[in-house]
Chains A and B, each alone.
Chain A
Amino acid sequence: MSEAAAMHGPAAESHLPPGAGKRETYVTLRTAGQLAAIAVASVRDVLGGQRITRIPLAPPSVAGSLNLRGRIVTAIDLAIRLGLAGGDPRRARISMVVEQDSDLYALLVDEVGEVVSLAAAGLEENPPTLDRCWRQVARGIHRLEDRLLVVLDVGRLLDLGGG
């Protein structure tokens, strides 16, 4: 349970100034050196240091399963899912727990960053030059002042058949 434990739930949205246009709230994350973001609303929990049980013969991006307060959660190694050269697969990582069709999944990342609120209108389509693996899972891109933020779509991330 770490620095990010305080940002559960979509509460951030209600603090938005009225009339600011439709905004979306994201949480940023870093995996294998890459910055990305997912919608805060889809994140159920963030926890660290979990024991993960390997699942033989599972797709490579499935790191295993873990016990989240009595529920079994399937862990996805985000670095492998995004085709990034991951570091040591056994290193302790942070689980961002997301829900998909009432099943829980943990996205394993190296670092959970900040919660940002961005204008929905600012979301641009994926540039055609984006890597194929990223294009399949990215919902679009936000241009921030100093960097680009790729917004990942949880549903597509978990669609391993398509990846």
Chain B
Amino acid sequence: MDELLADFLTETSEALAECASLLVQLEHAPDDQALVGHVFRLVHTIKGTCGFLGLSRLERVAHAAETLLDRFRDGTLAVTPSGITLVLRALDAVRAIVAGLEATRAEPPGNDGPLIADLDAAAGEAPAAAAGTAPLPAPAAPEQGGGSLLAGQGTGHSPEYGTGQSIRVRLALLEELMTEVSELVLARNQLLQLARHEPTGSFTAPLQRLSRITTCLQEGVMKLRMQPIGRAWSKLPRLVRDLGHELGKTIELVERGTTTELDRQVLELVTDPLTHMVRNSADHGLETPAERRRAGKPEAGRISLNAFHEAGQIVIEVADDGRGLATGAIRAKALGLGLASEAELAAMGDQQIQQFIFRAGFSTAAAVSAVSGRGVGLDVVRTNIERIGGTIELRSSPGQGSVFIIRIPLTLAIVPALIVAAGGERFAIAQLGVVELVRPGEGTDSAIERIGEARVLRLRERVLPLVDLGRLLALDPPRGQVADGDGFVVVVQVGPHGFGIIVENIFDTEEVVVRPLAPILRHLTLFAGSTILGDGSVIMILDAAGIARASGVCTTRAVAVAPPAPPGRIERTALLLFRAGDETPKAVPLGLVARLENVPRAAIETAGGRRVMQHRGQLVPLVAMPGISLAAPAQPVLVFIDGNRSMGLMVDAILDVVEERLEVARSADQPGLLGTALIAGRASEVLDAGYWLRQAFADWFMRTDAERAPAARPHLLVVEDSAFFRDLLAPTLAAAGYDVTTAMNGAAALRLRDQGLEVDCIISDIEMPELDGCAFMRAVRAGGAWAGLPAVALSSRTGAADLARGRAAGFTDYVAKFDRAAILAAIAGALRAHAETAAKTAAETAAKTAAKTGR
């Protein structure tokens, strides 16, 4: 009986889950006869099995539900939301009874009279018949069940089951099998290790066979444990439907990648966090239909689930198209909870502030609702995800919604690992996160460089922060400090971040069975667990995410991810921070800097009034940032190389290298600086490297080679108040072969002129605050260095009157703002016309002079 009952319970639970999601589908497609038929059959099967097992209470409820479904099926009744709600209620009752059965092996007592009456009333049955005969049913004793088993023999299951294609296996059995296979893998590894020292090699062939079989077996057992993620989602359609009714929202649930498979242990651990995130999206993320209408969105909010495999991991996305995170409310709450001071908050960007929602006790729901906002929230989700070696990211944009991205390993049981040494000890690191192994040094494309206190790895065009594993683990180095260029670097990727781990040695890769740490060691977040190697020794398994957190190579704000970057912009940039002149840190993309040098004072020479230094027999011009101290015995110099020319920029001190999203928040009104950006939590000024390069070359070459033509790249000034359009236009122009300086309005542009900025052409917007394009152009034409420059007007208004107005103000050309090709053509044309005019003027002057001389 027990086994039969257990089978029934499993089957019924599955059928219930399937029914619930089918019913929700049915609500959206009430005329789908196949769907009605399917639901009917499922309920019918449940009812049939109940009768078979003598579960009378269950049978009555299921029967009433079946009757109503039958009316839907034969078309006597139309499928209505209220009808569906009734059937769902019946399924809930069945589920409650099943839960009782599971716990006590007997039907729990309860009164289903009202429910059955409602179902019968909806089905048009005489209610008295059912309700009258439904007093408290006596709990069915297990013996009764046994009896009915005998009585019911021969009726059999519905033909859907027992097709012979699949069998049910006890979960515990599967787990035992997994443990045994894990042990087998360990024993195999141990044997392989021993065989290496066996001189005759007679074991080699059979061992290889054993090894291959073990691997197959291991993969087979892993596959046994795989289940489609749709299983973790099966309850969500019902949840979302109920939430929608409760919250007065229309919610559409979109599921993609339902068949993506993952280990059942992982599946179980991820079900609750997923449910919570969907609740969260429904409750906090999506707006009410009225709000959505006002925002110009479709009334129905959408929650999308997506799952797919990527690089040995499974990625699950939970997205909503709701209002996005309310940064203001989060900021206030963070302040209220004392998580950050006002000053700290002021220095944070929106994405950084959004990450507070992952902190313990953080819930911004003003009122605690039944749905979510109980304070056990995303911090628990995050902890649970991280516990299974996963990561969670959040992206949100106001008005457009939020997306949570979860990355979790496919399995927790056996992972390939790399064995490394640090501080004389061996450690394992899961290969999943390892991107590559690097032996930095001379003659390779990688090198360890020291910038201030920090060490970084320059790897091809990237610059990665480094963590010294031995030092992080407080282990004494075995012999002296690992010198730069000695040892190896394991390059790992944690979420969006890459960093390098310096180790003394790299040994081997081995499949390891991850064992959790003893409870007294759970606080050691640097380790994912421990394992036993083939040689029988115990070894700690490093947790790359824990290392990243502990070493600060990705701080909290970095673990969380910036919102999707606008197209054409690099998401994160390695930035070199330095000090020059004042205390405000200055930043320059590290990729632009070719070298960093500390030039001894004596090596800085003066030639023709300019500072130079020698590098490999060539003179490199030096430019001092304004206000820097020139008294130090050695001067830090950033060396830029552009083509075959190089120049050095003298600064006060090199501070750090950070990897951040470079977002110039405010453009600077000082030449040589692009603007201000928030970098490493501080407002920093971003260097306009092109400007300094020109400083060196304009001056330098004018003095040494007066005949030399001006820099090959014409220099454009873009005057535009919209940061978006500036960002859009500047790279376009740069790509077309121009150097670009931007100004946020006419007044700022004129200040640049007065500071001596030299440009070849002006491109200006017309509609701007403070000083509009036409007024700006009149001011330019009125006199000063730019009076004769070609100028192109950009405007969204290109009527004849606007054109005339622009020309009257002094613009050479006038083009539509969003026509990229026209803009480029206009600039090229204006520059050409200007050059021709200049040549003609020069020729005329020459002719006049010649005429005068000739006279």
Contact = CB atoms under 8 A, between A and B. Distances in A.
A62 B521 contact: yes
B539 interface: yes
Interface string A101-143: 1010100000000000000000000000000000000000000
Interface string A59-72: 10010111100101
A59 B425 CA distance: 17
Given A70-B183, A70-B186, A160-B520, A56 B538 contact: no
A53 B521 contact: no
A50 to B, nearest CB: 10
A105 B539 contact: no
A55 interface: yes
A58 interface: yes
Contacts of B521: 55, 58, 62, 74
A54 interface: yes
Interface string B520-551: 11001011001110001111100000000000
Give the one of A66, A70, A160, A161 with max B CB within 10 A: A70
User: What 5 pairs across the A-B complex have the smallest Cβ distances?
Assistant: A56-B473, A74-B518, A53-B538, A65-B538, A160-B520
B126 interface: no
A80 interface: no
A51 B425 CA distance: 13
Given A53-B538, A53-B539, A65 B530 contact: yes
A67 B537 contact: yes
Query: Interface size class for chain B?
Result: 20 to 34
Interface string B472-488: 01110000000000000
A72 B524 contact: no
Given A65-B530, A67-B536, A72-B532, A56 B520 contact: no
A160 B531 CA distance: 23
Interface string A79-108: 000000000000000000000010101000
Interface in A8-59: 51, 53-59
Contacts of A70: 183, 186, 532
Nearest to A50: B538
A72 B530 contact: yes
Interface string B595-608: 00000000000000
A103 B538 contact: no
Tell me whether chain A's interface is mostly helix, strand or loop, or mixed. Answer: loop
A158 interface: yes
A56 B532 contact: no
A65 B530 CA distance: 9
28 contacts: A51-B537, A53-B425, A53-B537, A53-B540, A55-B527, A55-B540, A56-B423, A56-B425, A56-B473, A56-B526, A56-B540, A57-B473, A58-B524, A59-B520, A62-B521, A64-B538, A65-B538, A67-B532, A67-B537, A67-B538, A72-B518, A72-B530, A72-B538, A74-B518, A74-B521, A103-B518, A103-B519, A105-B520
Interface string A136-163: 0000000000000000000000111100
A55 B519 contact: no
A72 B540 contact: no
A161 B186 CA distance: 33
Contacts of B475: 56
A64 B519 CA distance: 14
Nearest to B473: A56
Give the one of B473, B526, B540 with max A CB within 10 A: B540
A159 B520 CA distance: 7
Interface of A: 51, 53-59, 62, 64-67, 70, 72, 74, 101, 103, 105, 158-161
Tell me whether chain B's interface is mostly helix, strand or loop, or mixed. Answer: mixed
Interface of B: 183, 186, 423, 425, 473-475, 515, 518-521, 524, 526-527, 530-532, 536-540
A153 B428 CA distance: 34
B473 A105 contact: no
A56 B532 CA distance: 17
Contacts of B538: 53, 64-67, 72
A12 B80 CA distance: 73
Given A56-B474, A65-B530, 13 more contacts: A53-B530, A55-B540, A56-B425, A56-B540, A64-B538, A65-B540, A67-B532, A70-B186, A72-B532, A72-B538, A74-B521, A103-B519, A161-B520
B233 to A, nearest CB: 33
A159 B527 CA distance: 20
B182 to A, nearest CB: 10
A105 B517 CA distance: 12
B106 to A, nearest CB: 31
A158 B537 contact: no
B379 to A, nearest CB: 21
Contacts of A64: 538
A123 to B, nearest CB: 26
A161 to B, nearest CB: 8
A105 to B, nearest CB: 7
A66 B539 CA distance: 9
Given A56-B474, A57-B526, A72-B532, A62 B520 contact: yes
Nearest to B426: A53
Contacts of B536: 51, 67
B560 to A, nearest CB: 26
Contacts of B183: 70
Contacts of B518: 65, 72, 74, 103, 105
B534 to A, nearest CB: 12
A74 B538 CA distance: 10
A101 B522 CA distance: 14
Contacts of A53: 425, 530, 537-540
B644 to A, nearest CB: 50
Nearest to A158: B520
B519 A101 contact: yes
Contacts of B527: 55
B573 to A, nearest CB: 33
Contacts of B524: 55, 57-58
A105 B521 CA distance: 12
A53 B536 CA distance: 11
